[in-house]
Structure 1
């Protein structure tokens, strides 16, 4: 497990969930592209300090922001190689101390203008191959975070605009992945 610390370039955000999502995006950006998906538990920082002071210290959680509402992302073990993401997410059960979770994953996406030309009847493997060969494809890193209370946030970073100032955020940018993460709390 490792803590995701905010980098100096991470902008201040309106909510703790948005802040955590952007911190995870910035952390993933620092690791570079062509990386496997990464899963994070989101824990309440004040509760972590109170209930697990040694772990908080090990993770480098600063006591100076004790009065501030915040979430601490804690990276989980690597996802099993070869297991489809949806199947893996179906195996997760979070302990009560985890108030939310987040996932960062790289994907190829097409602009809406290209979606109309997608051939019908392709298998998932054929569709992936078709998208990978499409001249308008975009490589993106998706970071999606959800809380037990249903709150959601996502960050989308295009590989061709790989800068923290170019990251798109919004609660409903990646609804399918947000639903899958929310289901891990059911």
Structure 2
């Protein structure tokens, strides 16, 4: 694992402008990563994060925990995950091929990915021409007048738990982020496969 100085802060430490506390530790981690990505603006490359159990990180890597601002605090016994940003994804490598090369050490409880994509509303799906390859389809979507730019943050745990956050560029606000475990099932499956034995 590598830590970057710009890594997200701990979900139990309130930071001005961060989303409100969510019920699930995984949801809190996803919203924290979404807010971190939002702070970097749009038109960013995909980012991969390891999710580590915060209590375990404090116990096993106290220096790293201190660097990330994860000192023990009242109420810190609640379960939580600390996102640790990994090295940049290799330029020019398709995301699915890159994820096929990822393997995590046992200390990593889960992982998350944030990625920007163009999407069409369901009303436009009937107008998609048939017989296009992936590149042609991407170009067609990029030209479509109803396209929407979205940032998707998807996280999975070793135990199979999943969570996602989707933010539209045109509604770029923490209060407009849609969350749920099944919003981006294909990406969740690809991330879960990084934990396959």
Scaled to the shorter chain, the TM-score interval is over 0.9
Please say which of residues 56-65 and 26-35 is displaced more in the overlay: 56-65
Cross-structure match for 1:40: 49
- Distance in 2 (CA, whole Å) between partners of 1:127 and 1:101 is 29
Cross-structure match for 2:161: 151
- Distance in 1 (CA, whole Å) between partners of 2:71 and 2:92 is 37
- Distance in 1 (CA, whole Å) between partners of 2:109 and 2:41 is 28
1:125 and 2:135 are equivalent in the alignment: yes
How many residues are matched?
Answer: 186
- The Cα shift of 1:66 comes to 3.0
Cross-structure match for 2:89: 79
- The Cα shift of 1:130 comes to 0.2
Please say which of residues 9-18 and 77-86 is displaced more in the overlay: 9-18
- The Cα shift of 1:126 comes to 0.4
In structure 2, stretches of 5+ residues that fail to align are none
1:116 and 2:126 are equivalent in the alignment: yes
| Equivalent residue in structure 2 for 1:25, among 34, 38, 42 | 34
The CA RMSD over aligned residues, in Å, is: 0.9
- The two structures have a TM-score, normalised by structure 2, of 0.92
| Equivalent residue in structure 2 for 1:70, among 56, 77, 80 | 80
- Distance in 2 (CA, whole Å) between partners of 1:11 and 1:166 is 12
- The Cα shift of 1:86 comes to 0.2
- Distance in 2 (CA, whole Å) between partners of 1:114 and 1:165 is 26
| CA offsets 1:31-82 (integer angstroms, 9 cap, x no match) | 0000000000000000000011011111221310431111000000000000
- Distance in 1 (CA, whole Å) between partners of 2:71 and 2:35 is 19
Please say which of residues 55-64 and 111-120 is displaced more in the overlay: 55-64
